[in-house]
Chains A and B, each alone.
Chain A
Amino acid sequence: MSEAQISDYRKLEESITLGHIQNEDRLSSELLTLNIGPHHPATHGVLRLIVTLEGEIVRDIKPVIGYVHTGIEKTAEQKAYWKVIPVVERMDYLSYYFNAQAFCGAVETLAGIEVPKRAQYLRVIHLELNRIMSHLVWLGTSALDLGAMSMFWYCFRERDAILDLFEMSSGQRMHTRYFQVGGVFEDIPTGFEQRLRKFIATMPERADQYADLLEKNEIVLQRLRGICPLDEQTLLDLGVTGPLLRAAGNPWDLRKVEPYSSYEDFDFKIPVGTVGDNYDRYRVRHAEIYESVKIIEQALDGLPEGPTITEDRKFALPPRHELATSMEALIHHFKLVTEGFRVPEGECYYPIESPRGELGCFIRSDGSSKPARVHMRDPSFSNLQATAPMCRDSYIADLIATLAMLDPVLGGIDR
Chain B
Amino acid sequence: MAVSREPLAGADEFRSSQLRARDMLRGDLEGDDLEKYVEERIITTTLDKAVSWARGNALFPATFGLACCAMEMMSIVAGRVDVARFGFEAFRASPRQADLLILSGRVSIKMAPVVRRIYDQMLEPKWAIAMGACCSSQGVFNNYAIVPADKFMPVDVHVPGCPPRPEALMHGILQLRDMIQGDPTMGWRNRYGAVGTEEVLPGNLGADSVNVFGSTDRA
Contacts and interface: CB of A to CB of B under 8 A. Distances in A.
Contacts of B141: 70-72, 75, 87
Contacts of A386: none
A66 B212 CA distance: 17
Contacts, number: 106
Interface string A282-299: 000000000000000000
B146 A156 contact: no
Interface string A204-218: 000000000000000
A40 B95 CA distance: 10
Nearest to A161: B80
Contacts of B63: 41
Given A86-B140, A174-B163, A67 B106 contact: no
A75 B143 contact: yes
Given A67-B108, A70-B108, A160 B145 contact: no
A335 interface: no
B165 interface: yes
Nearest to A154: B79
B67 A93 contact: yes
B75 interface: yes
B212 A1 contact: yes
A173 B111 contact: no
A41 B144 contact: no
Interface of A: 1, 3, 6-7, 10, 38-41, 45-46, 66-72, 74-75, 86-87, 90, 93-94, 137, 141, 152-153, 156-157, 159-160, 173-175, 410-411, 414
The 10 A-B pairs at the shortest CB distance, nearest first, are namely A156-B78, A71-B145, A93-B68, A41-B93, A71-B143, A67-B111, A69-B108, A160-B80, A66-B110, A75-B143
24 contacts: A1-B212, A3-B215, A38-B114, A39-B118, A45-B66, A45-B67, A45-B70, A46-B111, A69-B108, A70-B134, A71-B145, A75-B143, A86-B140, A87-B141, A90-B67, A152-B74, A152-B77, A152-B78, A156-B74, A156-B75, A156-B80, A159-B78, A160-B78, A173-B165
Interface of B: 63-68, 70-72, 74-75, 77-80, 93, 95, 105-106, 108, 110-111, 114, 118, 134, 140-146, 162-163, 165, 212, 214-215
